Amino acid sequence: MLTKKNFFCLCLGLFAFSAIAQTEKLQEEKELEVVNFKSIKKVLQQDGLSQAAKNKEKQVQVLKKEQTQVEKSRYNYPTESELWGFVSEYWLVKNAQLLNWDFEKPDYGLEENFKKIMQQLGFYQKKFKILMLNTPTTVRAALPGNEEMIFILSVPFVRSLDLSKLEISLLLLEDYFRLEAGYFKKNVATEKMTKLAGTNFYGSKPDLSMVEELLKNYTNQVNQKGYTFQQQFEITKKMDAFLKSNPELWNTYFRLLGKIDRFIKVNVQYKDYVRLYPSPEMQVKWLSPEEKVL
């Protein structure tokens, strides 16, 4: 029989069971929350490590790319300007025995005198060097360098003509104008040089035949081909224009051409001079004032 006492006990038991059930549920929820938090934290950590790995990979790729570019840059052909300087010096070294420029000689003072003449005509800060040759075979030439000019001149030729410093400087001035006009480069340059200069040959062998072709053309230009009548006419007229304002220089140049003309006509050793520099006789005529018919 359900009494008040029993009912009270029953309610108390149900309340206690309900309380226990509620307590257990809250504990499970807490445990679940802890588990969920740990999982989220683990995922976040994994994402962070993954992102760091990705950033590191990007940095490595950038460094590899930069390293490859540096490596490739080591396989560049010289630029045209650098190539002219390199080939000119290489040609001089390769032909040192024939040109005989490495010999004991006095200081002729030519560089200082030529610099003075150049400045007198308005040419400043021009870099050049003069190489004297102890051979009659190669008489004179102006070679392109890397930001400078290289003049070569035969000592036997100078002594045979008994040239003064001023006369030598005027010959160098002629050669300077030829070089500035681009005649030498035009006569010597090859299609392969124009194509390869400044390009990259990474992953392949350099084409050394380009240099060999240029060296061959150098020798041909300096000793056999020389300049055309048209080129010589243009240079003579340019000398005329620059020297007219200074009668002393103009008269010295005019007499110099006559001296060379007379010399090569009687000296068989320099008979090929007119093929290289045609011709002193014509230069004198080009500079001579036209005769007026009355």
pLDDT tens digits along 241-283: 999 999 999 999 999 999 999 999 999 999 899 999 999 999 9
The string of pLDDT tens digits covering residues 24-59 is: 445 555 554 555 555 666 665 666 666 666 676 677
Mean pLDDT for 233-240 is 97
E strand or H helix that includes residue 18 = helix 4-73
**Domain ranges in the chain?**
80-226
User: Is the distance from CB of 286 to CB of 236 less than 8 angstroms?
Assistant: yes
Q: How confident is the model at residue 234 (pLDDT cuts 50, 70, 90)?
A: very high
Strand pairing partners for 149?
A: 128, 144
Share of the chain above pLDDT 90, in %: 61
User: CB within 8 A of 233, min separation 6: which ones?
Assistant: 282, 286
* pTM score, whole prediction: 0.76
E strand or H helix that includes residue 116 = helix 110-120
Instruction: Name the least confident of 102-106, 112-116, 153-157.
Output: 102-106
